[in-house]
Amino acid sequence: MFESLSRRLQTTLDRLRGRGRITEADLKEVMREIRRALLEADVNYQVAKEFVRRVEERAKGQKVYESLTPAEQILAIVYEELTELLGGKVAEPQLKSEGNVWFLMGLQGTGKTTTAAKLARHYRAKGRRPLLVAADTQRPAAQDQLEVLGQEVGVPVLRVEKGEAPASVRKRLDDHLKTDFRDLVIVDTAGRLQIDEALMDELAALAAALEPSERMLVVDAMMGQEALGVAEAFDQKVGVTGLILTKLDGDARGGAALSARHVTQKPIYFAGVSEKLDGLEPFYPDRLASRILGMGDLATLAEKARQAELKAPEKRPEKFDLNDLLDQMKQIQKMGSLGELMKMIPGLSRMLPQNFQIDEKALKRVEAIILSMTPEERRNPRILNASRRRRIARGSGTSVQEINRLIKTFEETKAMVKRFSKKGGRRNLMGGRLW
């Protein structure tokens, strides 16, 4: 989502690299480019104006144009201000030992129902006992969808009847909790196509009856600036305690996501980064700012590695075979998109060409090739003669040329790692042993 903005900001700041001094005119030109980049990314005009003013004010205060490292100083200021714009510190929803009722609100199509299931999965993994409440009686099959998702994440679902009074919903919820203790109740409410007064009154009445400890607004990050007006309307009528941004993996310009915290003055709790049920992450302002500026995000990368429970191969380099390669590929795929993972490595995003994309399908073809081999062929690729390669190509739906490339790359990588291990370099970025 932030790729275009990220490229513009990095290019603008890179112009200063290598300069011993910059003038006040240079600084103004950089600030003008930053403001233009923010506006083109659909950032709220007042937000962009205030952001640039603060950066320029701090830069002049530190007399950056008299510094020997102006690029580094301006980058540091932009990073700090961008982090502050996104919320500064990490904000977490209120979570007591019991009696937690979280209300999810938003327009139709923002991903509320899926987000409810993602939250349940997230907190169940932390040892909580969630209950999902299907209170969306407006959208056809919304309750059925939540029940299916609830089964997938192992969380029960309580359905609200169409036209049921808020007081009745509260009583049935209380009765349910007496027989099945749950310390976190997540309520999926009906989405609105627009700010409809009658529907908003219904939502306010349900909130008054359930007395939620958190009232979270689910905002589609691809909506643009109108999402911020929606947030104000929900806050005035029902009250909003925090935001959840969805579809941050989309290809929109991302300005609403950058503006949301500043305009609404509500903290961003979570970010939806994929449609999968594990695609929900706590929102870290400093990490997102770092990624936008091409500074990487090793903290998130390390967390993904831990969650995927990556295991280093136990074999020595000379014993490493295609079975081990397949196992390592599957482990890495658990962490998510390879392209996104590469952007988390500091400096790597600057080295990649514009519009660079990883062909994720190519990894599937490699997997198909290896799975089409016999156990002996995987252990010893040197026995792969012409007839064997033709058989594997037919079985995997690939070509002999692709198999040749895979084997050549595998042998070269194995030889390189063997040389690397002899020099004592056996540790990966996460601190674990490679071999």
Domain CATH number, residue 207: 3.40.50.300
Average pLDDT over residues 395-420: 82
Residues 26 and 139 in one domain: no
Q: Is residue 243 one of the residues assigned to a domain? A: yes
Residue 43 confidence (pLDDT) above 70: yes
Give pLDDT, residue 143: 92
- Residue 94 included in any domain: no
Give the C-alpha separation, 145 to 339, whole Å.
Answer: 31
- Average pLDDT (217-244) is 82
Domain count, the chain: 3
Could you tell me which of 108, 384, 104 has the C-alpha nearest to residue 269? 104
pLDDT digits (tens, 9 = 90+) for 324-356: 778 777 776 666 666 566 565 555 555 455 555
Rounded percentage of the chain residues whose pLDDT exceeds 70 = 77
- Average of per-residue pLDDT across 39-57: 86
Residue 71's Cα: distance from chain center in Å? 29
Which residues does 291 contact at the CB level (< 8 Å), separation at least 6? Answer: 2, 6, 297, 343, 344, 349
For residues 105 and 100, what is the distance between their CA atoms, to the nearest angstrom?
Answer: 16
Is residue 138 one of the residues assigned to a domain?
Answer: yes
- Helices 112-124 + 142-153 axis angle, to 10: 20
β 268-272/184-189 pair status: unpaired
Same domain? 13 vs 42: yes
The pLDDT tens digits of the residues spanning 246-279 come to 887 765 566 777 777 877 888 999 988 888 888 8
Please determine, for residue 117, whether its predicted confidence score (pLDDT) is greater than 70. Answer: yes
Sheet holding 280-282, edge to edge: 157-159, 130-135, 184-189, 100-105, 214-220, 242-246, 268-272, 280-282
**How does residue 435 score in pLDDT terms, banded at 50, 70 and 90?**
very low
Query: Is residue 427 classed as helix, strand or coil in its secondary structure?
Result: strand
User: What CA–CA distance (Å, rounded) separates 10 from 6?
Assistant: 6
- Is residue 391 in a domain? yes
User: Do 321 and 187 share a structural domain?
Assistant: no
- pLDDT value of residue 321: 83
The pairing of strands 280-282 and 268-272 is antiparallel
Residue 374 has pLDDT above 90, yes or no: yes
What's residue 265's pLDDT?
A: 86
Expressed as residue numbers, the domain containing 14 is 3-85
- The answer to whether position 432 is within a domain reads no
Among 253, 278, 293, the domain-final residue is 293
Q: ∠126-127-130 over CA atoms, to 5°?
A: 100
Q: Judge if 165 and 81 occupy the same domain.
A: no
Rounded CA separation 111/270 (Å): 13
What's the confidence (pLDDT) of residue 433?
Answer: 35
Dist CA 378 CA 321 (whole Å)? 6
Total residues found in the chain within this entry = 435
Beta-bridge partner residues of 189 = 135
Residue 269 and residue 235 share a domain: yes
- Between CA 272 and CA 293 the distance in angstroms is 20
Q: Which of these three, 293, 328, 358, is where a domain ends?
A: 293
> Residue 332 belongs to what H/E stretch?
helix 322-333
Residues 6+ apart with CB under 8 A from 132: 116, 117, 120, 146, 149, 150, 155, 156, 157, 158, 186, 188
**202 and 348: one domain?**
no
Inside any domain, residue 374: yes
> Residue 306: inside a domain, yes or no?
no
Domain of residue 409, CATH code? 1.10.260.30
| Last residue within a domain, chosen from 249, 278, 293 | 293
Q: What is the CATH number of the domain that holds 30?
A: 1.20.120.140
Do both 243 and 354 map to the same domain?
no
Residue 264 sits in the same domain as residue 329 = no
Question: What would the pLDDT profile of 164-184 be if each residue is shown by its tens digit?
Answer: 899 999 999 999 999 999 999
Q: Are residues 233 and 147 in contact, defined by beta-carbon separation less than 8 angstroms?
A: no
Looking at the structure, do residues 283 and 413 belong to the same domain, yes or no? no
For 165-181, the DSSP string reads -HHHHHHHHHHHHHHS-
- For range 138-153, the mean pLDDT: 91
Give mean pLDDT, residues 33-61: 85
Residues 351 and 407 in one domain: yes
Q: Which residues pair with 134 in a beta bridge?
A: 159, 188
Q: CA 22, 24, 27, 28 torsion: positive or negative? A: negative
Domain assignment present for residue 175? The answer is yes
User: Are both 139 and 236 inside the same structural domain?
Assistant: yes
Q: ∠ CA(133), CA(138), CA(142), 5° rounding?
A: 55
Same domain, 175 and 64: no
| Helical packing angle, 255-264 and 45-61, nearest 10° | 80
Confidence of residue 310 (pLDDT cuts 50, 70, 90): low
Question: Residue 435 and residue 411: Cα distance in Å, rounded?
Answer: 16
Q: Is the pLDDT of residue 147 over 90?
A: yes
